[in-house]
Amino acid sequence: MAEKPKTRPGGGKLFYIPGGDTITRIDPWWGLVALVVVAAVVLVTVWPDPFWNILVFVRGGIIVTVSITVISFIFIMVLGLLGGLGRLSRNRVLRGFASLYVEMVRGVPLLVQLIWWYFAFPVMIHAVGKWLDFSFMIEYQANPIVTAIIGLTVCYGAYMSEICRAGIQSIPKGQMEAARSLGMSHFQAMRYIILPQSIRVILPPVGNEFIALLKDSSLVSVVAVADLTRRGREFMATHFNPIEVWTMVALIYLVMTLLSARGVSWLEKKNRFEE
C-alpha cells in the first residue's frame, strides 16, 4: 500500500521521496568476521584433534598478545603526542631531539630493535653499573614482556609522532589565532581547540597503526615472550603438524584484526565531521 502524503502545519502536502528516509545500515564487513569465526568454530568442532587442542594450548598466548598490544598502544599514543608536539615546537633543541628520534627509529627494522632492547640494552646497563659501582644495575636482568613493550613503544612512537604532527598541522592556523584572540594561552588553545579537532583527523591512521601493531606483536616471540606465535611454534615443535597449527594461529590473528578494524570503523563514524 502506498504511503499517504503527510500534511504540513500550514496545510501543504509533504510527498514521500523514495530512498529519502534515514536507514541505519549494518557494516557489511561484519559478514567477513562472522565467516572467519564460523570457519574456526567448524574446525574445532569437526576436528577437535588437533584444532581444539591447539586452541587450548595457545589461549594463554592470546591473552599475552592482546595485553602487550593494548599496553604498548597506550604508551605509543602518549609518546606519539609528545613527539608530534616536539616536532612542532619553537624550541630548536626540543624540535631537533624529536626529529632525530623519529628519523633514527624509523630507519631500523622493528625486529632488530626488539633484539637490541633484549640483548644489547642489558649489556649496556651492566657496563654502566660496573662503572658507577651500582649493584642493582650490575644484576639487571631483562624482563621479556617489559622489553617487548618498550621495543614496540619506541618503534611505533616514531610513526605516531608523524601522524600527530600531520594531524595538528592540518588544523587551519586561524583556529589558533581565534583562540588566542579570546584570551586563551597557547596551552589552552592546544588543549581545548586544536587537539580535539586533530584527533578526529588522525583517527583513521591511528586505527591502522593499532591493527599493524597487533600483527607486528608476533615479532616479540623472538625475545622469549610466550605470545600467540611462540605458543603455536611450541605446539608445532611437539606435534609436528605445521599446517594445522599455523592455520589455526592465522585464523585467530584474523579474527582479532577484523574485530579491531570494525571497532576503528565504528569510531570513525561516531566522530565523523558533519557535512
* Domain assignment present for 15: no
Residue that the C-alpha cell 631537533 belongs to: 96
178 Cβ contact list (under 8 Å, min separation 6): 193
Report the C-alpha gap between 138 and 125 in whole angstroms: 7
Range with lowest mean pLDDT among 2-11, 137-146, 160-169, 204-213: 2-11
How far is the first Cα of the chain from the last one, in angstroms, to the nearest whole number?
35
**What is the chain's mean pLDDT, rounded?**
88
Q: Does the pLDDT of residue 20 top 80, yes or no?
A: no
Asked whether residue 129 is assigned to any structural domain, the reply reads: yes
Domain that holds residue 170: 29-270
The model carries a pTM of 0.85
Quick check: is 8 in a domain?
A: no
CA-based nearest residue to 219, from 112, 132, 143, 89: 112
Residue of higher predicted confidence among 136 and 116:
116
Return the percentage of the chain with pLDDT > 70, whole number: 89
User: Nearest Cα to 235, choosing from 43, 60, 48, 57?
Assistant: 57
- How many other C-beta atoms lie within 10 A of the C-beta of residue 166? 15
In the chain, the number of structural domains is 1
Q: Where are the beta strands (DSSP E) in the chain?
A: 6-7, 13-14
Assess if residue 275 is contained within a domain: no
- 167: in domain: yes
Which pLDDT score is estimated for 21? 47
Q: What is the CATH number of the domain that holds 174?
A: 1.10.3720.10
Query: Per the domain annotation, does 90 fall within a domain?
Result: yes
